[in-house]
Chains A and B, each alone.
Chain A
Amino acid sequence: MKNQLGELRAGKTWSQGDLAEKLGVSRQTINAIETEKYDPSLPLAFKIARLFKQPIEKIFVPAD
């Protein structure tokens, strides 16, 4: 799954740690999502979408 999380976070000038704290996850999780090594659960994807006020499908795009 490809995602725009890194770009969205950079747009808000938040560090990975800041975003992790806002979402209630570890910094490692944010890093793993941004580097596309880990796909978040649906509840976490919704939290991310709500935080950035974007639809999920704009942030997360299937790889194929």
Chain B
Amino acid sequence: MLYTRGVNTPNTLESLEPCSKQYSLKADLKLNTWLAVATVVALVSQYLLRLNPFWSSPLRAAVALAPVAPGLLYVRSWFRFVRGLDELQRRIQQEAMLFAAVGTVVIGAVINVLDTNGIAVPGLRHGLELGGTFYAMGGLWLVGTAIANCRYK
């Protein structure tokens, strides 16, 4: 049964690209449903917090942190997806993620050094901040994936 057609089909990144021929709604939903849930929960929790400014601190904290649970489940679905990738794709993703993590640390350190020496970086008054960190990691992940793909082409 080891080589039966379809049994060993690995996950592919193309199955998540809507314009790709290999796009799979099932794979997309399996991966991104928790992201959608986290987004909805975040919007609702922000709305509730704005509507009820006099709630107690523990209640406000609980409502504010409500999106964390579906967010963690989203991370879990990514881990499962990566684990199901073909072994070369998994290596490419590991290299790309390492590239993104190290690159983000380097960018953050450079900005910090410039900042402490009084050299202002346009658009960044307090280091990379959370949003900047996400953008830097996402951008570097794309670059890292492209580099690793070229290496194994």
A-to-B contact residues, CB < 8 Å = 21-26, 28-29, 31-32, 37-38, 40-41, 44, 47, 50-51
Contact = CB atoms under 8 A, between A and B. Distances in A.
Contacts of A25: 8, 10, 86-88
Given A25-B88, A28-B152, A50 B2 contact: yes
A10 B2 CA distance: 21
Dominant SS among interface residues on chain B: loop
Contacts of A51: 3
Interface residue range, chain B: 10 to 19
Interface in B1-58: 2-3, 5, 7-10, 12
Given A22-B3, A50-B2, A51-B3, A44 B87 contact: yes
16 contacts: A21-B5, A23-B8, A24-B3, A24-B86, A25-B8, A25-B86, A26-B86, A26-B88, A28-B152, A28-B153, A29-B86, A29-B87, A29-B89, A37-B151, A38-B152, A51-B3
